């Protein structure tokens, strides 16, 4: 059985932001439940996986970590390719990591599907005595770009699970919505084929669901 058969959906999420913001720490906290104080950055892309279930659908999320290339502005097209979600990270104690968000977002937008879901995470919330970025300015940035925003701490494991899971849930809901639209169009065209050859790893539709959709779309 291949990975594609095992999961209803496989999503790719990329994590971007300045070096030192805590991207690797956040990913490790989320996918492995660990925080390593002596983090060394490695070279090459690192992949982490997270599996969960939403509405009876088995979801695998691949989380891509730049593993250091961001220091040389060498994050490539391949890294962004086919990502459905973006985690944009800055460090609340480092104002330049916040100022650079605009560059990161603009670069991501060049490479990524306009429908990709984005979340902004202000990391190191445990270091509130060293805060250099106010919650207010981060909220304004998020509002301007219509993205969700949370302050998190990889160290204290604060909001980390919630942040990543809400992104995955947003991606899932967008995909299942698009899938329903696609299926509706197929039904309207009279060309619906209930095979696995549908996009988004769609599970085959039951006759009952098909009937409901026909009523919804074709009335
Ligand atoms: P990356 O370059 O964006 O991948 O950042 P890293 O995950 O390598 O983290 C950079 C440094 O910040 C490391 O020394 C981490 O231990 C530290 N760090 C990461 N997250 C946190 C956090 O939430 N709180 C604190 N206090 N330190 C953190
Ligand atoms: Mg890193």
* Residues sharing a CB contact under 8 Å with residue 34, sequence separation 6 or more, in sequence order: 28
pTM for the model: 0.83
> What is the structure's pLDDT at 192?
57
10-residue averages of pLDDT along the chain (219 residues): 83 96 96 75 75 95 88 84 97 98 95 94 98 98 97 98 97 89 75 47 49 57
> What is the structure's pLDDT at 207?
58
Residue 32: CB atoms within 10 A of its CB come to: 11
* Residues sharing a CB contact under 8 Å with residue 143, sequence separation 6 or more, in sequence order: none
- The residue to which tokens 């995909």 are assigned: 175
Q: How many CA atoms lie within 13 A of 127 on its CB side?
A: 15
Q: How far apart are CA 163 and CA 158, in angstroms?
A: 9
Q: How far apart are CA 81 and CA 218, in angstroms?
A: 35
Domains, the chain: 3-173 (3.40.50.300), 189-218 (no CATH)
Separation of CA 215 and ligand 1 centre (Å): 52
Q: How far apart are CA 107 and CA 130, in angstroms?
A: 29
Question: Which residues contact ligand 1 via a Cβ below 6 A?
Answer: 19-25, 37, 39, 41, 123-124, 126-127, 153-155
- The residue to which tokens 């944009």 are assigned: 88
- Ligand 1: which of 22, 66, 67, 69 to mutate, judged by most atoms within 8 Å of the beta carbon? 22
Separation of CA 126 and ligand 2 centre (Å): 19
Which numbered ligand comes closest to the C-alpha of 93? 1
């Amino acid at each position: 059985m291949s990975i594609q058969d095992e999961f209803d959906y496989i999503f790719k999420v990329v994590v971007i932001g300045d070096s030192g913001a805590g991207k690797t720490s956040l990913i490790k906290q989320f996918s492995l439940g660990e925080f390593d104080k002596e983090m060394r950055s490695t070279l090459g892309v690192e992949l982490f996986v997270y599996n969960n279930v939403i509405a009876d659908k088995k979801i695998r999320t691949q989380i891509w970590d730049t593993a250091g290339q961001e220091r040389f502005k060498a994050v490539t097209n391949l890294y962004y390719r086919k990502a459905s979600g973006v985690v944009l990270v800055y460090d609340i104690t480092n104002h330049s990591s916040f100022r650079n968000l605009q560059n990161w977002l603009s670069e991501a937008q060049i490479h990524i599907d306009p429908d990709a879901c984005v979340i902004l995470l202000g990391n190191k919330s445990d270091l509130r005595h060293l805060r250099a970025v106010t919650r207010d300015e981060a909220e304004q940035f998020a509002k301007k770009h219509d993205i969700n925003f949370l302050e998190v701490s990889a160290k204290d494991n604060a909001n980390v699970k919630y942040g990543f899971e809400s992104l995955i849930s947003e991606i899932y809901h967008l995909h299942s919505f698009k899938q329903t639209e696609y299926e509706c169009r197929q039904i309207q065209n009279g060309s619906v084929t209930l095979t696995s050859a549908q996009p988004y790893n769609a599970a085959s539709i039951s006759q009952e669901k098909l009937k409901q959709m026909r009523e919804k779309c074709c009335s």
